[in-house]
């Protein structure tokens, strides 16, 4: 048996799947930038809303002619969308996990790092180490702007090392445009998606009672935060649904999606 040829054949479906996911992301980002809903884009491109959902999720194998229609509706071309997809299909050296608190970024991240044989890094821990104080002290003494700047600088230095790693980020990292752009440009971003109720239950299960302490509307606040951030989280290179699965199952999904 020609093991090289066999390996190449095995890699083709995986590479094509990665390209379709990246193409879907390129379409979703273009649509978001132009402020179009799925229905509006479907009407302009002459395709169904259901088809666009499949395309943006990486499940739709679109023809060149249809992709050109979608491209024109987005103010670009099929060739440009494919080029964006090809650039985004290649795995980056750093896998960055994003999502709300309770998404499982630490637990899943450690499992992913173990499967890949690479270091696991908590970005918040690096910021605290750099500042020589806890995160709560950073916010109390210096404020959020200082933290965001420190977070961006620490992330940039980490990426400049050029080493493979799995990084767990803060839930609010997407609120800083510059840091979020840096993350998306230089890492493979993965949104660990779950229902707000799952985020809540996971935090409580860890013995952390802070989310509800003295806050009767804490759950409503969590849902509001999720609603405000989900469109931005959805711009991650990969989306992994974690509701109803174990941390190890979620880690396996991440590895399958990025490799």
Distance, CA of 92 to CA of 111 (rounded, Å): 18
In Å, what is the CA distance from 193 to each residue of 7, 36, 71, 231? 32, 23, 28, 12
Considering the four listed CATH numbers 2.40.50.500, 3.40.50.800, 3.40.50.300, 2.40.30.10, the one that applies to the domain covering 94-258 is 3.40.50.300
- The 10s digit of each residue's pLDDT in 155-205 is 999 999 888 899 999 989 999 999 999 998 889 999 999 888 887 777 766
Average pLDDT value for residue range 227-249:
89
Query: Given this model, what pLDDT does residue 1 score?
Result: 40
Residue extent(s) of CATH 1.10.260.40 domains in the chain: 3-89
Q: How many helices (H) and strands (E) does the chain have?
A: 13, 5
Query: Given this model, what pLDDT does residue 54 score?
Result: 87
Q: Does 7 score more than 50 pLDDT?
A: no
Mean pLDDT value across the chain? 84
Task: Could you list the beta-strand ranges (E) of 68-119.
Answer: 94-98
Q: Contact, 194 vs 97, CB < 8 A?
A: no
Q: Contact, 38 vs 49, CB < 8 A?
A: yes
In this structure, the number of other CB atoms found within 10 A of the CB of residue 171 comes to 19
- The 10s digit of each residue's pLDDT in 99-157 is 998 888 999 999 999 998 999 999 999 999 988 999 889 988 998 899 999 999 999 99
Q: Contact, 216 vs 193, CB < 8 A?
A: no
Architecture of domain 3-89: Orthogonal Bundle (1.10)
Distance, CA of 198 to CA of 99 (rounded, Å): 12
Question: 122: helix, coil or strand?
Answer: strand
For 204, half-sphere exposure in the C-beta direction (CA atoms, 13 angstrom radius) is 11
Distance, CA of 95 to CA of 58 (rounded, Å): 19
Distance, CA of 127 to CA of 27 (rounded, Å): 34
User: What band does 63 get if pLDDT is binned at 50, 70 and 90?
Assistant: confident
User: What band does 9 get if pLDDT is binned at 50, 70 and 90?
Assistant: very low
CA 238-241-246 angle, to 5 degrees, is 125
Residue extent(s) of CATH 3.40.50.300 domains in the chain: 94-258
What pTM does this model have?
A: 0.67
Average pLDDT value for residue range 73-90:
78
Tokens in use for 229?
């951030």
Distance, CA of 67 to CA of 55 (rounded, Å): 10
Phi, psi of 75, rounded to the nearest 5 degrees: 80, 25
Q: Contact, 238 vs 21, CB < 8 A?
A: yes
């Amino acid at each position: 048996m020609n093991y090289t040829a066999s390996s190449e054949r095995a890699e083709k479906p995986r590479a094509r799947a990665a390209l379709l996911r990246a193409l879907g992301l390129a379409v979703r980002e273009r649509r978001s930038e132009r402020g179009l809903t799925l229905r509006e884009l479907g009407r302009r491109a002459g395709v169904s809303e259901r088809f666009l959902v499949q395309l943006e999720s990486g499940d739709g194998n679109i023809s060149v002619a249809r992709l050109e229609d979608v491209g024109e509706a987005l103010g670009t071309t099929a060739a440009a969308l494919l080029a964006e997809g090809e650039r985004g299909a290649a795995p980056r050296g750093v896998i960055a996990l994003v999502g709300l608190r309770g998404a499982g970024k630490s637990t899943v991240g450690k499992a992913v790092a173990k499967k890949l044989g690479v270091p696991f890094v908590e970005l918040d821990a690096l910021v605290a180490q750099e500042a020589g104080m806890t995160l709560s002290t950073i916010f109390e003494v210096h404020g959020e702007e200082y933290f965001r700047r420190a977070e961006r600088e620490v992330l940039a230095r980490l990426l400049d090392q050029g080493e493979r790693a799995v990084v767990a980020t803060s839930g609010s990292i997407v609120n800083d445009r510059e840091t979020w752009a840096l993350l998306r440009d230089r890492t493979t971003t993965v949104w660990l998606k779950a229902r707000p109720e799952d985020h809540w239950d996971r935090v409580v299960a860890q013995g952390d009672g802070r989310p509800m302490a003295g806050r009767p509307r804490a759950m409503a606040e969590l849902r509001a935060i999720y609603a405000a951030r989900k469109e931005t989280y959805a711009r991650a290179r990969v989306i992994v649904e974690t509701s109803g699965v174990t941390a190890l199952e979620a880690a396996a999904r991440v590895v399958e999606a990025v490799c």
